[in-house]
Amino acid sequence: MIQTRTIALPHRIELNCRVSGEPGRPVLMFLHGFPEGAFVWDGLLEHFSQPEHGGYRCIAPNLRGYGGSSAPADTSAYRAKHLVEDLRALIAIETQDAPHPGRLAGLVAHDWGGALAWNLAALHPDLMERLVIVNAPHPGTFWRDLQHSPAQQAASAYMNFLVRPDAAALLAENDYRRLWSFFTTPGGSAAPDWLTEDVRQRYREVWGRGLDGPLNYYRASPLRPPGGSATHPVAELPRALLDVRVPTLVLWGMDDPALLPGLLDGLNDYVADLRIEPLPGTSHWVLHEAPGAVRDRIASYLSAV
């Protein structure tokens, strides 16, 4: 059974979380991306909290700026160092009664949640036993391709729209018409089968709490394609933010129109213990399109010796 908890962090941020499973069990944490919310993990929270599937304590926070969590107005509050601190504090609180206090059994993350997970794993590998990334580019390969791949530059051009001051107002127009289009196949108009009216309402509940918080992730990020102005230009990413020493599984929907498969090239230069499992025929929204495949691959990875 999934419950909702608001967890107050020591640095005056509150995270609204969805939790399932008994306290005192090994903890799995799940991080969502844009423009979603913690609810997208409900199926996995219910599955992995069952005794026959590991009996984990599962938690999925609505990240800062989303779904009832604290949403500071200042764009600088969404820089990676602050978002990573949210996760460090949440892990400390949620694992205090776990078999290994201060350490997750696994961190599973998609899209922007994955960007934070890469950063957390690089800086604080002691906080997790395993990492699972779903369609979220490693900062090293993403920065490389934003500079040198015309195809990825074109695929990421939408980011320059999302940093506009009026982006939130534009995205909210006509019952979020532009946001619904994120889920359709490029060039297509039909909504995917998984986007039922019930699921739409879950999204409306997240978006109705405000869109500037989610958009501030893009505004605060130095990683953008040509055609816009990054607020924090960087010439080189420090190696300390790139090397990951945590065993890592990467699941990748190969038809993702925004994050191209080329982002997987060279990933083993940064991740020593790496397994990549492509998911052909799925897009960026693989959590919705192939939930069984994602679940089974995570389960296999968690149980591997």
pLDDT in tens, 115-174: 999 999 999 999 999 999 999 999 999 999 999 999 999 999 999 999 999 999 999 999
Domain that holds residue 269: 3-303
Total domains in the fold of the chain: 1
Question: How far apart, in whole angstroms, are the C-alpha atoms of residue 185 and residue 224?
Answer: 23
Question: Tokens 């590991």 label which residue?
Answer: 54
Report the pLDDT value the prediction gives residue 231, as an integer from 0 to 100. 45
3-state secondary structure 64-92: CCCCCCCCCCCHHHHCHHHHHHHHHHHHH
Report the pLDDT value the prediction gives residue 239, as an integer from 0 to 100. 84
Q: What is the mean pLDDT of residues 177-181?
A: 96
Report the pLDDT value the prediction gives residue 188, as an integer from 0 to 100. 57
Q: What is the mean pLDDT of residues 85-94?
A: 98
214-266: pLDDT as tens digits: 999 999 999 999 876 554 445 577 887 899 999 999 999 999 999 999 999 99
Question: Tokens 């869109």 label which residue?
Answer: 211
CATH number of the domain encompassing residue 49:
3.40.50.1820
Question: How far apart, in whole angstroms, are the C-alpha atoms of residue 131 and residue 189?
Answer: 35
50: pLDDT strictly greater than 60: yes
Q: What are the strands, taking DSSP E only, across 55-192? A: 57-61, 106-110, 131-134
Q: What is the mean pLDDT of residues 16-39?
A: 98
Taking a C-beta distance cutoff of 8 angstroms, is the pair 218, 163 a contact? yes
Taking a C-beta distance cutoff of 8 angstroms, is the pair 55, 22 a contact? yes
State phi, psi for 304 to the nearest 5 degrees.
Answer: -65, 140
Q: What is the pTM of this model?
A: 0.96
Question: Mean pLDDT across the chain, nearest whole number?
Answer: 95
